[in-house]
Amino acid sequence: MNIIELNGIFVNNFILYNHKEIILIDTGFLNGISFIKNALLNIHKKLEDIDYILLTHGHLDHVVHLKKLKEISGATIICSKEEQIHIDGKYSYKGINLVCDGLEKFGRFYFNYKAIKIDHHVKDGDILNILGGIKVIHLPGHSIGHLGYLFLESKYLFIGDLVNTRRKKHRFPPAIFNSFPHLIPESIHKVYHMNLNGIISNHGPRLSPEEQWNRFRIFAKDYLKQKIT
Ligand SMILES: [Zn+2]
């Protein structure tokens, strides 16, 4: 399996492929479609060849190009059913998260965003027979249906927005974007105790999955100690 990381302005997304399947994890943001198109051209493929779109969650910076990509490729859209309300732009944000609401409203207007339905709902523990097997890992906190995707052959876990990669250490996304912060410790605990070779997050500079995993373990160990004591 090959991974192409598309480092966007605010958010990264990913193309994964082998000799028979191409999948996209999240859809990118500004210039997202042209980034994807150019990356596919480099491997002599085109947008029409995308087979699956796996979504970590429904925030606008992860789904803004979903409808267009579906129309071009006919790819199967996969996510938890709880994220449909985000994709529809109908989630009722509360308190501090109203800032996120305002940003998404502006973004939907700016991009002339149109919603689309998830084709295939998945939940924690489901196995997708794609690219050698992908296990769905529910990691709620950032949003209620937020998902990670574990690639069983490489033991790489795509962790969405559970934590952000930074130059020196990991950190959480800004509080305005975390709708269920009380669920984050359990999700961190879950990932910390997984047997992985690497993790890959959607925000931050390009770092190897192994390096991200090393940093995550240091971050998570400290964080979980504080939560318990
Ligand atoms: Zn997000």
pLDDT band of 229, cuts 50, 70, 90: low
How many other CB atoms sit within 10 Å of the CB of residue 41?
A: 11
Please compute the mean of the pLDDT values over residues 99-125 and round it to a whole number. Answer: 94
pTM of the predicted protein model: 0.95
Q: Give the Å distance between the CA of 61 and the centre of ligand 1.
A: 7
**Tell me: domain 2-228, CATH 3.60.15.10, correct?**
yes
Give the pLDDT of residue 129: 97
Q: Give the Å distance between the CA of 19 and the centre of ligand 1.
A: 31
| Angle ∠(197,198,200) on CA atoms, nearest 5 | 160
Structural domain spans, the chain: 2-228
Q: Give the Å distance between the CA of 27 and the centre of ligand 1.
A: 12
| Token representation of residue 126 | 């489901």
Q: What percent of the chain has pLDDT over 90?
A: 77
Per residue in 6-45, pLDDT (tens digit) is: 988 789 999 999 999 999 999 988 878 999 999 999 999 9
Q: Give the Å distance between the CA of 40 and the centre of ligand 1.
A: 25
Q: Give the Å distance between the CA of 130 and the centre of ligand 1.
A: 24
Q: Give the Å distance between the CA of 29 and the centre of ligand 1.
A: 12
Give the pLDDT of residue 228: 62
Give the pLDDT of residue 44: 96
Q: Give the Å distance between the CA of 123 and the centre of ligand 1.
A: 18
Q: Give the Å distance between the CA of 137 and the centre of ligand 1.
A: 16
pLDDT band of 1, cuts 50, 70, 90: confident
Q: Give the Å distance between the CA of 21 and the centre of ligand 1.
A: 26
Per residue in 55-87, pLDDT (tens digit) is: 999 999 999 999 999 999 999 999 999 999 999
Q: Give the Å distance between the CA of 56 and the centre of ligand 1.
A: 8
Q: Give the Å distance between the CA of 44 and the centre of ligand 1.
A: 31
pLDDT tops 80 at residue 180: yes
**CA 149 to chain CA centroid, nearest Å:** 8
Q: Give the Å distance between the CA of 73 and the centre of ligand 1.
A: 24
List of E strands, the chain: 2-7, 12-17, 22-25, 52-54, 76-79, 120-121, 127-128, 134-138, 147-151, 156-160, 198-201
Q: H or E segment at 5? A: strand 2-7
Q: Give the Å distance between the CA of 177 and the centre of ligand 1.
A: 6
